[in-house]
Amino acid sequence: MKRLILAGVLALACGASALAQTVKVGIIAPLSGPFSSNGKMWEATVKAYQKIHGTQAGGATVEVVWKDLADINPAQARALAQELIVLERGVPVFHGPVEELRRDGAILDRAIGLEKV
């Protein structure tokens, strides 16, 4: 699971790096609440990888922006996705409980579609 998450984040970041000097990767994860062990594992995995290999990928700096989704809450997930899109300006890459969000009314798809990301 850790490798899959990290591979996805880094592969997308490398692909987007040709367009910018800094690539922001938005990760919506359960960093608190009942599922926090999963989110903390994701965070530790990304930090460990960056400590060993650095934050450079394809000539760009990869900046990870974390958002906490403590519980299953589609409205909050949409708000967090919108924060990443609008407030963080330039978060072209997302990772998180995307399948769960899609089952709850395509929340993330709508948030991304509104900003044409």
Tens-binned pLDDT, residue by residue, of the chain (117 aa): 555 455 555 555 555 444 558 888 888 889 999 999 999 999 999 999 999 999 998 888 999 989 999 988 888 888 888 888 777 765 665 566 555 555 544 555 555 565 554
Neighbours of 107 (CB within 10 A): 23
| Model confidence, pTM | 0.65
Burial bucket for residue 87 (CB in 10 Å: 0-12, 13-18, 19+):
exposed
In this structure, the number of other CB atoms found within 10 A of the CB of residue 9 comes to 23
Query: Do 31 and 70 contact (CB within 8 A), yes or no?
Result: yes
Domain ranges of the chain: 2-115
* CATH superfamily, region 2-115: Response regulator (3.40.50.2300)
